[in-house]
Amino acid sequence: MAATVQPEQVVARVPSASNVSQVWDIDVPTMERFLQDLEKKNAVRFTAQQLCSFTNNYSKVLGSGGFGVVYGGQFPNGVKIAVKVLKKSLPHERAQRQFMAEVSTIGRTCHINLVRLYGFSYDHLMSAIVYEYMENGSLDKYLFNADAHGIDGNKLLDIAIGTAKGIAYLHEECQQRIIHYDIKPSNVLLDANFNPKVADFGLAKICNRENTHDSSIGYKGTPGYSAPEFLLNNYPITYKCDVYSFGMLLFEIVGRRRNARVGSIDSLDWFPKLVWEEYEKDELATMILSHGIEENDIERAKRMAVVALWCVQDSPEARPPMNAVVKMLEGGVEIMPPPKPFLYLFSVGINLLNPPIYTGNSSDNSTGNGTHSNWYKEHSTRIMDEYKIQVASSSQEKEDHGSSYAEEKSRSVDSS
Ligand SMILES: Nc1ncnc2c1ncn2[C@@H]1O[C@H](COP(=O)(O)OP(=O)(O)OP(=O)(O)O)[C@@H](O)[C@H]1O
Ligand SMILES: [Mg+2]
């Protein structure tokens, strides 16, 4: 059985990225073996009494979700924490899986845009996960509460970019790819400076990067954010389901409203469809203005809207990988026009495997180093433009006057 730690040892022993065992690699992991592995690798295990003391007897509720209640608290040295106590009503096996998924995935990550895990508690009475405290809570409250529209357009774009970087890290930079499966505004937390961190890895599952899909899983995520492939039997589920959910989140950032207001996708008030219609008519800017977005934020909002349209493409392959999404959001590249999305919603018999419009040739494996030319084109710089002009005129001159004069011209560009 893993030993517990004293409160004063806690902060010095915060687990690091590589500390947590690969539970999903074990055929039928027993909980105790999993916990022993965690402890051996230096993850902090707290007792229920310690957590009770850190949270002042669970006196401050920060929020609650499908899997439990989150309480505020602090370590004896004053470092603030958030403690997620997992619901006891969950069936035992589901609770264990939820717990192991959350601890094992967050425990192996380390990125400025991912929420940090400090430790955990597990006994027959309760299981809980201890995170760093995020002063400004979750993004949803700034997008959807009329009285909390305090974040300006520039900061919202930064939040979108930071969130995209966090997901890109999970997909591309971890030793094993991590799919989040539940990207949405309530799972993006904001620190004291409104820097975003992706949270709530409870549904996440680690998969080998070589295994490009996992068709064994059932429905995951939250309706309204989860990708259409979850609705199809035996359709391969890849990390691109997170890209779709991120696109839905981006629409909500652009509109500063929930995508669906009356809960029906057939309703006219489904924001993503409206964005597409206005984009098609080349009237995105007018529509965005009518949503109360300030004039000087229009360009940023338009960029986010177009990236969102790319992220929610019906075909997972047509969606850009998250590192391309980061580039597109950051600007400085020319974003290609996205094909029409949501065909699966408004047409009968659409085959998602062979979407009729998308003609790109990207492979779902080509995330890291592959070409992103389906989604964007690098802008050439002024110097490059000048050089191209010089080269073009040089070759013309070569034809006209022979090579020596052209070489001279070209050298003058290099030295300028
Ligand atoms: N580390 C944290 N710091 C500050 N507040 C937090 C932290 N973690 C969670 N919260 C708050 O608690 C709320 C509930 O989080 P939780 O992840 O349990 O549920 P959810 O994301 O709303 O829903 P779901 O269970 O579907 O993911 C969050 O929306 C957020 O406001
Ligand atoms: Mg959550």
Residue 59 domain boundaries: 2-132
Q: Is residue 416 part of a domain?
A: no
Are 277 and 290 found together in one domain?
Answer: yes
d(CA 377, CA 360): 14
Residue 270 has pLDDT above 50, yes or no: yes
Are 282 and 152 found together in one domain?
Answer: yes
Are 331 and 217 found together in one domain?
Answer: yes
d(CA 184, CA 66): 13
Are 248 and 389 found together in one domain?
Answer: no
Residue 228: CB partners within 8 Å, gap ≥ 6? Answer: 244, 314, 344, 345, 352
**Between residues 215 and 101, which one has the greater pLDDT?**
101
Give pLDDT, residue 262: 67
Are 388 and 324 found together in one domain?
Answer: no
d(CA 96, CA 121): 12
pLDDT band at 361 (very low <50, low <70, confident <90, very high): very low
**Between residues 296 and 148, which one has the greater pLDDT?**
296
Atom of ligand 1 nearest to the CA of 184: 21
- pLDDT digit string, tens, across residues 20-59: 333 333 333 555 666 666 555 555 788 999 999 999 999 9
- pLDDT digit string, tens, across residues 129-174: 899 999 999 999 999 987 556 788 889 999 999 999 999 999 998 8
Q: Is residue 394 part of a domain?
A: yes
Residue 177: CB partners within 8 Å, gap ≥ 6? Answer: 170, 171, 206, 207, 208, 209, 239
Q: Is residue 289 part of a domain?
A: yes
Nearest residue to 223 via CA among 102, 368, 66, 375 = 66
The residues annotated as belonging to the active site are 182
Nearest residue (by CA) to ligand 1, atom 9, is 70
Are 194 and 148 found together in one domain?
Answer: yes
Q: Which ligand is nearest to the CA of 131?
A: 1
199: Cβ below 6 Å to ligand 1? yes
190: Cβ below 6 Å to ligand 1? no
Are 342 and 399 found together in one domain?
Answer: no
Locate tokens 């597109």: which residue? Answer: 328
Q: 52 alpha carbon to ligand 1 midpoint, in Å?
A: 19
Are 17 and 35 found together in one domain?
Answer: yes
Our measurement of the distance from residue 330's CA atom to the centroid of its chain's CA atoms, rounded to an integer in Å, reads: 15
Are 120 and 248 found together in one domain?
Answer: no
Q: Is residue 89 part of a domain?
A: yes
pLDDT band at 176 (very low <50, low <70, confident <90, very high): confident
Give pLDDT, residue 62: 95
C-alpha distances out from residue 136 to 52, 130, 230, 254, Å: 23, 17, 32, 20
Q: Is residue 112 part of a domain?
A: yes
Contact 291, 284 (CB under 8 A): no
Give pLDDT, residue 80: 96
Domain ends where: 79, 104, 132? Answer: 132
Domain ends where: 99, 132, 165? Answer: 132
Q: Is residue 393 part of a domain?
A: yes
Q: Is residue 30 part of a domain?
A: yes
Of 9-13, 150-154, 300-304, 400-404, the range with the highest mean pLDDT is: 300-304
Q: Is residue 225 part of a domain?
A: yes
Q: 351 alpha carbon to ligand 2 midpoint, in Å?
A: 32
Nearest residue (by CA) to ligand 1, atom 29, is 186
The CATH number that applies at residue 122 is 3.30.200.20
Give pLDDT, residue 116: 87
Are 229 and 368 found together in one domain?
Answer: yes
Domain ends where: 132, 167, 189? Answer: 132
The CATH number that applies at residue 210 is 1.10.510.10
115: Cβ below 6 Å to ligand 1? yes
Residues making up the chain, counted from first to last: 416
Give the total number of structural domains in the chain: 3
pLDDT band at 190 (very low <50, low <70, confident <90, very high): very high
Are 108 and 181 found together in one domain?
Answer: no
Are 318 and 357 found together in one domain?
Answer: yes
